[in-house]
Chains A and B, each alone.
Chain A
Amino acid sequence: MKLLTHNLLSSHVRGVGPRGFPLRLQATEVRISPVEFNPDFVARMIPKVEWAALLEAADTLHLVEVPKGPIEGYEHDEKFLRQMHHVLLEVDVLEGTLQCPESGRLFPISRGIPNMLLSDEETET
């Protein structure tokens, strides 16, 4: 699971609503692998990023050189884009958990795939 994905996931446990984001990340196995750098793609992802959540996750994973937010003219700033590329796309959490901040419910991540299936009682009506 890449951090770009983590940035989008929110908890859907019953009654949690907006407080179900962001999911707290815990990782026991992380893989960093090179991904082809596509500046155009990264630039398009920047507006979608929820920065607080990203910084929190990056911190948990002890990543360095993480930009604190979008900078002026980021679309043409290769250094910035490369750093974002690394954080969003090259860090893969293979094993770990995601925790709903409100309900405390834990969702496991296994083989890089988060399992967010809820039992019947937990789903919203």
Chain B
Amino acid sequence: MLKKLKSAERLFLLIKKQFPLNVSSVSKGKIFNEMQRLVNDDPESWMSAISIWKNLLELDAKKDKLSQRDANPLKRKIEENDITNPKKLKTEQMQELQESRQCQLEKQMEEETVEQGDFLTNREKSQEAFQNDVVKAVDTPDQKDLTFRVSCRCSGAIAKTFTGQEVGRVIGIALMKQYGWKADLRNPNLEIFIHLNDIYSVVGIPVFRVPLASRAYIKTAGLRSTIAWAMASLAEIKAGAFVLDPMCGLGTILLEAAKEWPDVYYVGADVSDSQLLGACDNLKAAGLQDKIELLKVSVIELPLPSESVDTIISDIPFGKKFKLGKDIKNILQEMERVLHVGGTIVLLLSEDHHKHLQDCEQSGIPLNSKGSHTDEPGIEKCLNHGEKTDLSDTVSSSSEAISQGGLDKMPPFGSLVPMECYQVSLGRTDAFIYKYRKSHSLGLLQPGSSRPRAAAQQGRRLSWDPDRAPESQGNRLP
């Protein structure tokens, strides 16, 4: 079940979290002592973390044996080896489902706020999850045969004095002395992860060997899968919707969306043959080739009638590799044209695109020139709009501070009203997730600007509402 957490990069069992090690005027030797204390000072936290880890491993092994049972250590009290009780399983699964949804939402929000990498969010989640767990103190497991490895990441002030390897070595030696484990750098049983920086010092055990972000169903990832999933969540995908990714690349966003929201019609488009081939491969590997269609088309010239798409989600290509010199304005214009009124657009933009959009805006309509206050009535209206689904509720209510602050960074674009804006980390760089909603129809301003499918049928197309009962549209025959 833990593997279903979609917007978390990695998950760790927390052993220790404390204030950053003081590096300033202290000798190296003293700091090494501090580090050793991380290991030696609190054997109880170490023991309990390790026993939880062992139990997880056992549960995992048992799960593989029992077909189709979903063993979830989070909810289940570990000392009850009640795995074989089916009734209990069912109720717990229901609870877990809700819980994990909650976790997903919370994770997603945390994921989207400015943070020092994804590590912090996951650490907090695992802390809550596991410290609340009742674990019987495991009676002296035979630990002498455990092999381990220490992975260390240092950043900030401490990185100037120590390398990750030095720290890793110190901790490793301390662990060997304390617990008698053997070090194995290639294929250890247990991996200890340490992160030292200016904000905290954390020690933990990764729950899975492979990061959660690496999905079993994605063969070749383009965009980071956690961000792809987060964007799809923001997009308010409803059953029966038509979702388009006009610059799909390898199709990561569509794959994440199709896994989570299967009753939807997905279309991906790209101009590059190699990307489309890669996407095709990915779709087949994931078994989703029947859910996602691919087109070779250009985002600034979509062969789709106006107002025919419900949702658009896209990762706008960044940087110098993006050759065609397409203006982001043109891209947004075409997206706006094909989108239904009330539809949403969720985009991932680089800092450059973000600045570019702001520049375009400032030289044009002075809507945002006074800052966020002039936008407030508009913003509130939008946030209310978004409160229909539970997801929007959670996101908008608890991150209003962010959206309001971020919204004045987001220029409105034609009939696209900015809803939310999140800064996210992609590892080395930062990016922005923008969410827009189309507030009104563009109408027939110029001959080329709107392309209804056929004049007679245009009226019907515009009024189609996915939430309305089909019976009310009885007279559809031409």
Contact = CB atoms under 8 A, between A and B. Distances in A.
A58 interface: no
A116 B303 contact: yes
A124 B263 contact: no
Contacts of B477: 51, 69-70
A118 B296 CA distance: 10
B451 interface: yes
B296 A115 contact: yes
A43 B239 CA distance: 11
A117 interface: yes
Interface string A21-61: 10000000000000110101101111110111000000000
Q: Is the interface of B mostly helix, strand, loop or mixed?
A: loop
Nearest to B240: A44
B464 A47 contact: yes
Interface residues of A, number: 45
B33 interface: no
B263 A117 contact: no
B309 to A, nearest CB: 9
A110 B476 CA distance: 33
A41 B470 CA distance: 13
Contacts of A48: 242, 464
Given A50-B453, A112-B294, A10 B448 contact: no
A82 interface: no
Contacts of B264: 41
Contacts of B455: 18
B414 to A, nearest CB: 17
Contacts of B458: 18
A117 B296 contact: yes
Interface of B: 239-240, 242, 262-265, 267, 271, 276, 280, 290, 293-298, 300-305, 308, 447-448, 451-455, 457-458, 464, 466, 470, 473-474, 476-478
Given A113-B294, A116-B295, 15 more contacts: A8-B308, A9-B304, A10-B305, A11-B303, A20-B451, A35-B290, A38-B263, A40-B263, A41-B263, A44-B239, A45-B240, A51-B477, A118-B298, A123-B300, A125-B448
23 contacts: A4-B265, A9-B295, A9-B303, A9-B304, A10-B305, A10-B451, A10-B453, A12-B302, A15-B448, A18-B455, A18-B458, A40-B240, A41-B263, A41-B264, A45-B240, A47-B464, A48-B242, A51-B477, A89-B290, A112-B280, A114-B296, A117-B297, A117-B298
Interface of A: 1-2, 4-5, 8-12, 15, 17-18, 20-21, 35-36, 38, 40-41, 43-48, 50-52, 69-70, 72, 74-75, 89, 111-118, 123-125
